[in-house]
Homo-oligomer: A and B are copies of this chain.
Amino acid sequence: MNIKEASQQTGVSSAAIRYYEKEGLIPAIDRTEVGNRDIDNRILRRIRFVTQMRSAGMSIENLRRYIQLFDAQEDNTKEQRALLQEQLAVMEEKRDDLQAAIDHLNYKLAHFDDHMASTEAELRALEAQHQSERDS
């Protein structure tokens, strides 16, 4: 499959696929006899994985470190494990922030039809709610 088709299948631009390859986020792609990229399902899966992680907010730099670790043939060291755990902690915090924001929005939507003069009262109520969740 050429890069155009890969782009259509993944929703990632051709230029971005080339960029991801250059940055080491996806493996080096095989070439045809004339030098064009020939993309297989393995690469497609990798592109989708990168998209997912990027959408989840992981930086290119951290993603590269993570993927190099994941691809490593050598023995896994304590250092590598620490990197994974560090990434995990960052992502869990992000997820929790996101969940809090989602709660916020859901609360707003639930009370959307009420007349509500006081935005501040709502904010305080939500904060109290999140606080008590954290306390428990």
Contacts and interface: CB of A to CB of B under 8 A. Distances in A.
Dominant secondary structure of chain A at its interface with chain B:
helix
Copies in the complex: 2
Interface in A41-63: 42, 45, 49, 52-53, 55-58
Interface of A: 42, 45, 49, 52-53, 55-58, 70-71, 73, 76, 81, 84-85, 87-88, 91-95, 97-102, 105-106, 108-109, 112-113, 117, 119-120, 123, 127
Given A76-B112, A85-B109, 12 more contacts: A52-B101, A56-B100, A57-B57, A57-B94, A70-B108, A84-B105, A84-B109, A87-B105, A88-B109, A91-B98, A95-B99, A98-B98
